[in-house]
Structure 1
């Protein structure tokens, strides 16, 4: 069995909403069993405050997170790259697994519109965990 920790990179345009929620759920639910990164092709100045509020409702605080720029190194260092509307901005490397999650953008949305996006992301992250780490998916 390999001793390397699998790594997942979530990418969206601004790294202020969808990718931040996905990374936070994966980090929270796997408790360090995976290396988790998030980035944006054109990062915002701050995480969307409505997204921060929506995540607090489920007990996850992402208020201290800062949007990060997508780098080639981050993609190369990841086993799984999950894109969320970043289009062609995400570099493609052989040997990586790529998934594209079609999700509404929470930018400019109110809390009532962000909650279903958050819940959809959580369900997708749980399915990913069940696939990557079956023992954790059984919890």
Structure 2
């Protein structure tokens, strides 16, 4: 097995505090070093949503050490997949990238009970994404 990741994935949402952090946490946890994972936001929050941290902790994944980051052109350019989650037109478009828009409810301002279904939907999408990446032929 090569030491080069099979793909690089960038998750983007407005605040980089909930959906994109949960997605990055699941992908890192489930794919390990097979996939390079980034997340960013068009208007990053001060901290990761505490309800998202708690919901992920229930799933056995600790994202408490993550910090919201600003979306950069370089992050998009360095990624094979760019997955947006409600960031509108803030994400730059480059040829040769696979863009996916995941319509997911925003967990901002919600309690952990309301974040759990969002977390579970993200996990299912991450599992499908890993399956897609794993079936892509090596370049």
**Range of TM-score over shorter length:** over 0.9
SS at match of 1:113: helix
Counterpart for residue 28 of structure 1: 29
1:85-127 per-residue CA deviation (whole Å, 9 max, x = no partner) reads 0000000001110000000000001111100000000000000
Pairs aligned (count): 135
Q: Let me know the Cα RMSD of the aligned residues.
A: 1.6
Separation (CA, whole Å) in 2 of partners of 1:47 and 1:41: 14
1:1-139 correspondence runs (5 A): 4-5=4-5, 6-134=7-135
Separation (CA, whole Å) in 2 of partners of 1:3 and 1:29: 17
SS at match of 1:82: strand
Which ranges in structure 1 are unaligned for 5 or more consecutive residues?
A: 135-139
Q: TM-score, normalised by structure 2?
A: 0.93
Which ranges in structure 2 are unaligned for 5 or more consecutive residues?
A: none
SS at match of 1:103: coil
Separation (CA, whole Å) in 2 of partners of 1:73 and 1:123: 28
Shift of 1:31: 1.2
Structure 1 residues 86 and 110: alpha-carbon distance in aligned structure 2, compared to 1, 3 A threshold: same
